[in-house]
Structure formats: structure tokens, C-alpha cells
Amino acid sequence: MKNDNTLSNQKIEDEIKKAKEKKKLEIEQKKAETKQQEEKIDTKVNDNKKENLKKENQPKKNKPNNKNNKKKTNKENEKQIKDIKEEQNILNEDIKNESKSLNEDIKEKDTNQNLNKPKKSKLAIFLLIIALLGIIYYTVFTVQSLNFEHLNYFELIKPAAFVLISLLIIIILLKNNTKSNFLIFLLVLVIISYTIFSTSYSKENDLYVEDFINHNITEVMEWASKNNIELIELHEFSDTIPKNHVILQEYGITTLVSEIDTFTVTISDGPNYDKEITIDNLTGFSFDEVMKYIKDNKLNNVEIEFVKSEAKRDTVIEQVGSGTLRRSDKIIFRFSYGPDDIEPTPVKNLKGLSEFEATAYLKRYAINYTIDYEYSNDIEKGYVISQSVTDKIVTDTLKLVISKGKQITVPNLGKMTSSEITEWAIKNNLTVKFVEEYNKSYKSGSVIKASHKQGDVIDDDTVITVTISKGSMTVPEITNLADFKLWAQKYNVKFEEDYEFSNDYKLGEIIKVTPKVGEVIGEDDVITITISSGKQITVPYLVGMSRSNIEAKCKSINLSCTFTYGGYTESTNRDIAINQSRASGTVVGEGTNLLITLSSGKYVKVNVPSFIGKTKNQIVSSCNSIGVKCNFTYASGYSNETRDTAIKQDKTGTVNKGSTINITLSQGPAQSFTVTITGELLSLGNPEQTKNTLQSLLKTKCPGVNFTFSFQTSNFGKGYLAENSQVHVGQNTFIQGKTYKVIINN
């Protein structure tokens, strides 16, 4: 229908255009004919004038006749001119009428064409205006709701697409001039409905997770509480993120809040002052370089000293503490005042500096000072609040006032929730430790007690312990005995284990709990756990059976059997049971372990020769060849026999194979050692040191020689060897096996 109207309108326009061109050509042709007529009249008039003039120039005799002819000619000419003008007027009138008719035709066709066009109703215009206002309102609302600080560009796609599509449809409707308002009305209805829906629910349903990196944990807690999300906190040290600020978060800014139930964040505990680092030796460094080094490496136990010396002023002349140290280990830097006297210097404004920085500055310029500590709500703890002298030379002593931090008054913690206590503690730079315990007098989650009461004034960094009630103690669901034991140990719950056979419960499974799960128990109540011993089994008699038969038997009755060898026997073959850990007829549960002792086989008789006079290596070879074990010991004294030669044995002749033969070896002849004691080995004034030095030396130099040490009171040579000592300064000879006395003056 739309295409037919368009073709019809186009056809009318083409016909009007052709008619205009045709009339234009006819008018131009009429004008040309009129111009030709005028030219003919002008030519004829001129010809008549020329003819009259010629006649006037003829001889007078013919004058009367010429006059009459002239009059006659003029009349004829006037008549012709009049006729021509009348024709011209008629022609002009025809042209005028035709032009008028043509304009009327064109006007009529234009009117007919306009009548075919649909007129825009006021309702359509009104609806279009409402649609445009709806789009504008939705756009403004969407822009205002965007978080431009952490803009997620995915948020722009949906509103931008909606606005562009709506505008495109409106433009198409306006251009096509449809007679029906249905499409316009439908579009407006969609725009208004979507606008209302978006502005009502988008804030609730399209909220994205915020970027909390480097933000205080209190902001995360408020956000999580507002959105009903469980907050999970992990803690770790950080040199770059301030204490109680977020290092990492589980979800990014492209995640919808509606998609998550828990939110895990990693919180900074500040620098780790127990961390071991390598401390450089800064001897020769300047004061400013050292202060920067201290700050960069997070050292928090540094002492600054200044002394007068020949070294360059403000340079390190001595350092106590370097190498691998903890950040909290004490380090001392001694700087030089230089060789010259210190000139008085006006003290600068120290407000805002830390106590360490301020006192280091005052020491640098040899300014005497005292320190007072006061609470401050504005100045961070450990920083300068004020000073008694500024921009002037201190003539006596400068008074520094250092902040103790905020004066914190403990609220009524008993009326606060654990999350409220945590938030309060973090805001005030406090550490809170929660301890849970069962208490039937307090409902679960409420505060039983706290280490500080309401109204107590405390400093920041104070540790507050809060005991939270778990409500009445009830018997928990017990599915694993090991987990239950950990729970009972944690809360000092008394319990006992009871075992019974069962055909319904496997070995180790819990049959029942008394009292029952969920029942309230008191401090003195005992929980009894009944554990299955499995099916009841009677232990069979297994002695005399082979290993393979025992394994099959144990498997058939669901017992666990392990084996060990008990050695050789007189009459029992190898792998035959000679003992069992549980007597036959004993009732046990399925899966119970039985230890079966097997015979290593029947004894084999071997002949042991005499090993006296043989070396240790020879004896070992012989023992291995005949199948006996050799046990060697050394004689207590020295002899003329060569070392490692057998001088005694406990068994010879026929013995069981595998028996142990004890053999005594000679230590050999006693050796002598020559040791020179010099005065450098003796510690004057320190007898104990002398003893330690000689004891170590003689033990190393004289193996097998015995030395006894004692002290002797003397007024001379304390720490030196006494005159009656068997060990003396100079050359000494010691023989193995003998004992020598070492006496030291004391």
C-alpha cells in the first residue's frame, strides 16, 4: 500500500511537469508570432512613410491629386495598423488566458496531490514528543548511574543500543508519514515501559563489584553488609599497601553483585618487621643517605648517635649491626660532628615528623630536648604535635610533644555484634581477638565478656579480647571420630569410646552417640560414642599351618594377617606358623589384625674353628662362609698382640647355623705421644679457659690416654699449671692406657 501511494504521487508530479513544459513552449511560440506581426506593422508603416515622402517630392502640377492620394493612403495605413493591434491584443489575451488556465491546472493537481498525503495528527506529534522525552530521561538516568571512577564500558552497550534503535524507528516513522498512529503508539509504549523498568530495577539488578584495591577494609565491610554478602578476610604483610587496606580482591569490576554470595579480600598487615633482610655496612655514608636507607628498608629499631671526631661531619663513622638481620633488630649508627665546634642553629618546624626523624634531627645539631606524650585526634601516633621553640636558636632545652594517637574510649562491647566490634577496632587501629565458647546464658553470637570494659581509655595498637557465645552446647553431628576428638579437645568436652560388634555397621563406623545429636549438654556431661567393631569373628588356631593356608583362611573370615619370622627351630620347616598374637577362640571384630610368627626353618649344624691369632678380616670371611654371625669387641687393655688380632672367642665346634660367635680383639701394644705445652695455651687469670684449651688439645693429640683435671688454690699464676701437675709447660710424653693428672692454679 505504501509503495502504491508513492508511485501515484510520482506519476502526478511527472504529468504536472510535462504540462508546464508544454504550456511554456506554446507561450513562447505565441510571443514569437506577436513579435513577427509587430515587425511587419513597423515595416509597412515605414514603407508608407517612404512612399509618401517620395510623392511629396514630385512636381507641383500633380500636387492636388497627390494630396488626395496621401489622405487616402494614410487612412488605409491607419486602418491596417488598427487591425494589426486588434489582432495583437487578441493574441495577448489568449496567451494570458492560457497561462491562467495552466496555473489553475497546476494548482488543482498540487491540491489533489496534497489531499492524497496523510496529515499528521496532534496525537501523533504528542506521542513522538513523549517518546523523545522518555529517551532523554533514560539516557540522563543511565549516565548518572554509571560509576565513572571505575567505569565498566560494558555498562554502556545496552542503553546506547536502546537509544539508537528507538531514534532510528522514530525517524523512519516521520519520513514515511504513515496514516496510522499504531506504530507510533506502540513505540512510545515500549520506550516508556522500558524506561520505568530500567530506572526502577537497574540500580538493584545491575550493580557491579567495586574496586577496593588500596581502600580501607571498613569500606569493604560496609559494602558487603549493604549487599548482604559474606565477607571473607585473608591477611598478609605488605611493604606497599598501608595496614588495614585491601591488597587483592576475589572479583573484579565486571562481576555483578547479584552473582556472588561471598567476597574474599586480602588485607594488609603492614610491613613484616620480623622479616630477615641483608643490612649493608653504611660506614662513610651521609646522614641523608642513611635516613633514606632506613625508610626504604622499613627498619624500625634504629638508634642514631653523634660524636665528635676527625671524620667529615654528618658521615657514619661506626655501625653496630649489619649482614642478615630482622627489621626489628637493633642497629646503631654513629655519625661524626666533625673536628670543629657545633655552631648554634635555629631549630626548624618539626611538626609532622616522626619521633625518630625529629630526634635524629635534634641530635644532628646538638640540640638538647625533652619529650612529652599527649593524646591527639589530629596527629598520628608517634608524630610531633608541637615544640617549644621554632625558627630560633635553642638556648636551653627544646620541649617536644609527641602524639599518643587518639584517646579511645571503649564503648559497651556487650551490646555490639562481632562485625560492629571489628569495624570499631579497625577504625581506631586496634587489634581484636575473638574467642568462642559455649554458654547457655548467652544466645549464640552475643558477647559474653571483653578484656576492656565500657569507659576504659586505651591507646591504639591495644589488643582487645572478646569472648563470643556459641549458645548452649549441643552434641554435634559426628561423622568422623578424628574430627570429633578435635572438637572435644577445643571445647574441653569429656567423652569416652565404647566398641561393640555389629552386622549393620562396618568396622570403625559410629553406631550411636549418647546424648543424641542436637541435645544440650553441660560442662560435666560425658558424650559416649559407640563404635562398630565389625562382625563378630572367632580367631581360629593357626599354629602349624603354612603361610599360604593362613592367608586364605584369614581372607575367608575377614581377618587381617601379617607375618614375621621367629628364627630357626629344631623340627619345624620354613614358613610354618609357630605362634599367633591372639589365642584361638578369642572373639574379635572383622578386620582385626593377627600377627603370625613363622619358622625360618630347621637348624643346620656347622663346625666353628678356633679364630685365636687370626685377623678380623680373616674371621669375617670364615664366619660368612660357614653361616654364623661374628660379634667383635676390643680388649680393655693393651697387649703385645697386633691390633685387630683375635685373643678370645666364646664358641667352637658344632653349633647351629646362624648362631652368633663373640670374639675379642687385641688393642695392640700401647703407643706413646709427645706433646709440647706452650705458655700461649694458658690463660692468665682464667683457669676455666686454660682447662678447656688443654682438654681439647690432649684429647686430639693423645687417643687412648686418660687425663683428669682439677684446680688448686694459689696466690700466684692463676690459670697456669701447678708445680705438682703431671702435665707441665714444655715437652710431655704420654702412654696409651695410662692416666695423667692436670692441676691448674686457681
- Chain centroid offset of residue 244 CA: 14
Of the candidate ranges 19-28, 293-302, 445-454, the one whose mean pLDDT is the lowest: 19-28
Q: 290 φ, ψ to 5°?
A: -70, -45
Question: Nearest-CA neighbor of 660 among 608, 604, 601, 602?
Answer: 608
Q: Which fold has domain 408-469?
A: Trypsin Inhibitor V; Chain A (3.30.10)
- Chain centroid offset of residue 582 CA: 58
**pLDDT at residue number 664:** 95
- Domain at 536-602: CATH code: 3.30.10.20
Residue 460 CA to residue 646 CA, distance in Å, equals 79
H-only helix segments in 146-233: 154-176, 182-205, 217-226
**pLDDT at residue number 154:** 52
Exposure of 479 by Cβ count < 10 A (0-12 exposed, 13-18 middle, 19+ buried)?
exposed
**pLDDT at residue number 67:** 45
Is the per-residue pLDDT at 433 higher than 80? yes
Is the per-residue pLDDT at 586 higher than 80? yes
Question: Helix or strand or coil: residue 705?
Answer: coil
Per-residue model confidence as pLDDT tens digits over 403-427 = 998 889 999 998 898 888 888 888 8
Question: Strand 384-387's sheet: what is its strand order?
Answer: 369-374, 398-403, 384-387
Mean pLDDT of 153-180: 60
Cell matching residue 53: 515622402
**pLDDT at residue number 284:** 94
Of the candidate ranges 245-249, 437-441, 665-669, the one whose mean pLDDT is the lowest: 437-441
Q: How confident is the model at residue 5 (pLDDT cuts 50, 70, 90)?
A: very low
Is the per-residue pLDDT at 10 higher than 80? no
- Domain at 217-268: CATH code: 3.30.10
Of the candidate ranges 38-47, 71-80, 609-618, 725-734, the one whose mean pLDDT is the lowest: 71-80
CATH architecture of the domain with residue range 605-665: 2-Layer Sandwich (3.30)
Task: Answer yes or no: are the C-beta atoms of 707 and 688 closer than 8 Å.
Answer: no
Question: Helix or strand or coil: residue 24?
Answer: helix
Residue 665 CA to residue 644 CA, distance in Å, equals 5
Q: How confident is the model at residue 117 (pLDDT cuts 50, 70, 90)?
A: very low
- The 8-class DSSP code of residue 347 comes to P
- CA distance readout (Å), 635 to 584, 616, 700: 50, 13, 22
Per-residue model confidence as pLDDT tens digits over 651-697 = 999 998 888 999 999 989 999 999 999 988 998 888 999 999 999 99
**pLDDT at residue number 60:** 43
**pLDDT at residue number 590:** 85
**pLDDT at residue number 43:** 64
- Mean of per-residue pLDDT scores for the chain: 82
- CA distance readout (Å), 496 to 481, 530, 588: 11, 9, 20
**List of long-range contacts for 417-424, beta carbons under 8 Å, 24+ apart:** 417/445, 418/445, 418/447, 418/466, 418/468, 419/221, 419/225, 421/447, 421/466, 422/221, 423/218, 423/221, 423/222
Q: 193 φ, ψ to 5°?
A: -65, -45
Torsion sign over Cα 176, 181, 183, 187: positive
User: Pick the residue with more confidence: 481 or 297?
Assistant: 297
Task: Answer yes or no: are the C-beta atoms of 705 and 734 closer than 8 Å.
Answer: yes
Whole-number percent of the chain with pLDDT over 90: 45
Exposure of 679 by Cβ count < 10 A (0-12 exposed, 13-18 middle, 19+ buried)?
exposed
Q: State the SS3 of 637-662.
A: CCCCCCCCEEEEECCCEEEECCCEEE
Question: Nearest-CA neighbor of 302 among 366, 347, 357, 353?
Answer: 357
Per-residue model confidence as pLDDT tens digits over 508-565 = 888 889 998 888 888 788 999 998 888 889 999 999 999 999 999 999 998 999 999 9
Q: Which fold has domain 481-532?
A: Trypsin Inhibitor V; Chain A (3.30.10)
Query: Right CATH number for 342-406 from 3.30.10.20, 3.30.420.10, 1.10.3720.10, 3.40.140.10?
Result: 3.30.10.20
Question: Helix or strand or coil: residue 617?
Answer: helix
Torsion sign over Cα 720, 725, 729, 735: negative
Identity of the residue numbered 201: Y
Identity of the residue numbered 85: K
Q: How confident is the model at residue 579 (pLDDT cuts 50, 70, 90)?
A: very high
